[in-house]
Structure 1
Amino acid sequence: MSPALFASRQGPSCGPMLSDSPRSSVAAPFLPARPAIAGRIAHRGVGCPLMQRQGQRLAVATVEPSTASPEEAQRLKDLAMETGYLKIGREFPKGVTLSDIVKTLPEEVMKLDHGKAWRAVALTSAAVAGSMGLIAIAPWYLLPFAWFLAGTAATGMFVIGHDCGHRSFHENKVVEDVVGTVMMMPLIYPFEPWRIKHNAHHAHTNKLEEDTAWHPIRPGQFEAAPKTFQWALRLFLGSPLKCFTSIAHWAMWHFDINLYTEKQRPRVLISWAAVAAFVAFGFPAIIANLGLGGFVKFWLVPWLGYHFWMSTFTVVHHTAPHIPFKDAKDWNAAESQLAGSVHCNYPGWVDTLTHDIAWHVPHHVCAKIPWYNLRAATESLRENWGEYMTECNFNWKMMKTIFTELHIYDKEKNYIPMDHAKPEKFFTAQRKILPDSV
């Protein structure tokens, strides 16, 4: 569908508005929203652009369709093959707003289905219980498989809490708060602090200095860091250990009361009390019955498996050789949410246990879409905006690119490796050892 064809179409209502203006970015949830923004980032979380009020027509900029030149098409194809992607999105057109994109989505993808939501809770509960049973009976050589399964099932708990935080799980907000808190408690993830900070990520996706989810290192920051810290950055951001760095994000962003306003703090404290209760009662119970080794076996290793997926999903969704991070003055919501997020295909069993969290592009276009409608929403976006989307299969070549090349964000060159000035043995060895196979 040409963008010119939907200029008068009324789209689905998705919740509070994200600004489409490059210079008028939406305030983070812990800051007062600007008066010019139609719709505020309210307590119910960041949603999507408001379409139009009943009986009124919203003017939409008409964007003429264009076709990439053969040279540009070949360049994008070569880049995709070189870095492990199926398809690299072409340059995003000027004049397209997030509202334009949302209006092409079918109304049905916004509808909540309580039956599907509760079935997800049942599936995840069964998967977690089953994986614990598998850990209990597995011989030592099958434990890695059982742990990986348990970590993936635990990720499903987070995804349910994630939908609750976006108010796309249930029509009753109290139900969402309770379910979100309970699902995230065993992960020691406080629901309300996470919800607030995650909303900031949606409001500022791929915006330099303001995106709270996956922020790139800048050249000056790396060079000014002490040598020991530079080596820590090399180790954790320039190797496969990058797939566990969400642990640092979890610790830094969710347990500091000074990061929250006076109004937010009572709910933050309730979430802290919930995870503290799990630590105070759950951990001793596990250790008393299973010993310290049982604690490691049944909780710690699956928890690390959860963080593997938490880190991997996030870095793959928001890191690619051609996807820019921009200053607030140049930032555009439509470009960042559609073209700045990567669709990655994972094995079906991973999608099942993690409730399609990898079908991530429509979630950034409209966070109100429940997980079970993300596939239909993705197909709609492919039909209408597919030429601007980046897609990949989860593969070693792509991950090798992320581990060994996409380190420091330079405004002129996009990503450059930490050893761009002079090759370093640490990275040279990884480039030789890590597989290139797709």
Structure 2
Amino acid sequence: MTASLTPETVALSSPSSKLRIKDILATLPRECFQKDRKKAWATVATSIAMVGLGYWAIAVSPWFLLPVAWAFTGTALTGFFVIAHDCGHRSFAKRKWVNDWVGHIFMAPLIYPFHCWRLLHDKHHNHTNKMDVDNAWQPFRPELYDSMNLGQQVGYRFMRGRFWWIGSILHWALVHFRLENYNPRDHKKVKVSIAVVVAFAAIAFPTLILTTGVWGFVKFWLLPWMVYHFWMSTFTIVHHTLPDIQFREPEEWDEAQAQLFGTVHCEYPGWVEFLCHHINVHIPHHLSTAIPSYNLRMAHESLQQTWGSQLQEHRFSWRLMQQITDICHLYHPDYAYQSFKDHDESK
């Protein structure tokens, strides 16, 4: 295939064909890649307004409406992360310093160090679904799982099962604050980002506790933060995990196949899509991180015209999460995944 590939000729290809990312991108409208300052800052205004509305709701709601207020506020805070996510990919603004400042500001309330996340997240994009290299929801090899102690096995079972929603919290706590996870040349940036969130926590948390008490800290920060991590865990596991999406050994891995056919487009309820700036229109984002979040739907509609039913498209539901958490446990070279039940019975 050549760079002059057209949607009509690509549509005749099958997922087993040899594709190149640049050929797929050539089928997308050029407008998909264009940054729009007004649209970018409109997402900022929207998220600030919605988070503010959420905290107002928490402050005035009677106890029986607090769960609704927490769900709304935590989801709106996920929109903060999506803005920083665009900044991390340099698709928010043309100037690097603007991306860095906005990214730090919007991740600070989430206690997420911006450069730490950005550097590790880039690795996920460069090696999506590549076994032993991808760092996002990679399934453990059975032999690695068997070598773990009981406590580690139980923890892994929880994270890959019905407690998938704690996965993002564990990833945040265990990975992002360790200097050894980063190239020495990036240590200065990493330290700056860690310092930003430590400073935010050192000021905001004591102030919140002194003015509203421990319950105020739980009510206004901890529970919305946990809702945010629920969506982070859910979004990220669904993005690349289904019983028929295969992680590949490095020597067999193909970039275009992984990004186009190993990435899931999932439709969530409209209010979630709105508050989270449509980040779950995820296939075009994995083809090019240069596409801003507000252009993802335009890009996806173009991919639908070209690839149709070959794309992984689903609607969020409890049934979908059951399918993932009941089956997608351990790596299998032929059948994508082996469930814990099948693994235990095979021993």
Q: TM-score, normalised by structure 2?
A: 0.95
Residue 134 (structure 1) aligned with residue 57 (structure 2) = yes
Aligned to 1:295: 217
- Counterpart code for 1:160: I
Return the alpha-carbon distance in structure 2 between the equivalents of residues 180 and 304 of structure 1.
20
- Structure 2 equivalent of residue 323 of structure 1: 245
For the pair 1:242 / 2:164, whether they are aligned, the reply is: yes
Contact 1:63–1:96 under 8 Å retained in 2: no
1-side partners of 2:189 and 2:156: how far apart? 34
What amino acid is aligned across from residue 250 of structure 2 in structure 1?
A
* 1:305-316 matched pairs, under 5 angstroms: 305-316=227-238
Gap change, CA 1:290 and 1:415, over 3 Å in 2: same
More helix by share: 2
Hey, what does 1:8 align to over in structure 2? 4
Quick check: 2:260–2:286 contact (8 Å CA) kept in 1? yes
Asked if the contact 2:4–2:23 (Cα under 8 Å) also holds between the matched residues in 1, the reply is no
Q: Give the distance between the partners of 2:256 and 2:307, measured in 1 at CA.
A: 11
Distance 1:304 1:64, change over 3 A: closer
- CA-CA distance at 1:385 after TM superposition: 1.9
Rounded Cα–Cα distance in structure 2 between residues aligned with 1:309 and 1:175: 26
What SS does the corresponding residue of 1:419 show, helix, strand or coil? helix
Q: Distance in 1 between matches of 2:273 and 2:340?
A: 33
1:421 Cα deviation from its structure 2 partner: 4.5
2:88, 2:99 within 8 Å by CA — same for their partners in 1? yes
Which digits, 9 at most, give the CA deviation of each residue in 1:260-294, with x for residues without a partner?
A: 22321111111111101111101111111111110
Which of 57, 61, 65 aligns to 2:12? It is 65
**Alignment correspondent of 1:175:** 98
Q: Which has the larger radius of gyration?
A: 1
- Give the drift of 1:65: 2.1
Runs of 4+ in 1 over 4 A off after TM superposition: none
Once the two structures are superposed, the pairs formed by residues 381-400 of structure 1 within 5 Å of their partners are: 381-400=303-322
Shift of 1:7: 4.8
Task: Report the AA paired with residue 135 of structure 1.
Answer: I
- 1:157, 1:313 → 2: CA distance? 15
Give the Cα–Cα distance (whole angstroms) in 1 for the partners of residues 306 and 86 of structure 2.
25
Cα drift, residue 9 of structure 1: 5.3
TM-score by length of 1: 0.76
Amino acid at match of 2:17: K
Superposed, 1:347-362 pairs within 5 Å as 347-362=269-284
The CA distance in 1 between the partners of 2:250 and 2:28, in whole Å, is 27
User: What is the match of residue 151 of structure 1?
Assistant: 74
Find out whether 1:100 has 2:96 as its counterpart.
no
Please, which moves more after superposition, 343-352 or 383-392?
A: 383-392
Quote the offset at 1:409 in angstroms.
1.4
1:422–1:216 Cα change, 3 Å:
closer
Q: Distance in 2 between matches of 1:186 and 1:173?
A: 21
1:20-419 → structure 2 map (5 Å cutoff): 65=12, 92-239=15-162, 241-419=163-341
Task: Provide the C-alpha distance between the structure 2 equivalents of 1:394 and 1:385, rounded to a whole number of angstroms.
Answer: 21
How has the CA–CA distance of structure 1 residues 107 and 422 changed in structure 2, closer, same or farther, with 3 Å as cutoff? same
- Counterpart CA distance in 1 for 2:297 and 2:118 is 23
Residues 11 and 307 in structure 2, CA contact (< 8 A), matched pair in contact too: no
Q: Which residue number in structure 2 is paired with residue 39 of structure 1? A: none
Q: Name the count of aligned residue pairs.
A: 344
How far has the Cα of 1:237 moved from its partner?
A: 1.8
Deviation at 1:10, TM superposition (A): 9.7
**Alpha-carbon contact 1:283-1:295 (below 8 Å) kept:** yes
Map Cα deviations across residues 387-412 of structure 1 (whole Å, 9 max, x no partner).
Answer: 32111110111111112121111112
CA contact (8 A) 1:192 1:271 kept: yes
CA contact (8 A) 2:246 2:335 kept: no
Aligned equivalents of 2:344 and 2:34: distance in 1?
Answer: 53
- The answer as to whether partners of 2:265 and 2:312 remain within 8 angstroms in 1 is yes
Q: Is the 8 A contact 1:63 1:95 kept in 2?
A: no
Deviation at 1:234, TM superposition (A): 2.0
Once the two structures are TM-superposed, the CA of residue 299 in structure 1 deviates from its matched residue by 0.3
Aligned partners of 1:118, 1:138: CA distance in 2, in Å? 30
Name the % identity: 46
Distance 1:250 1:261 in 2: 18
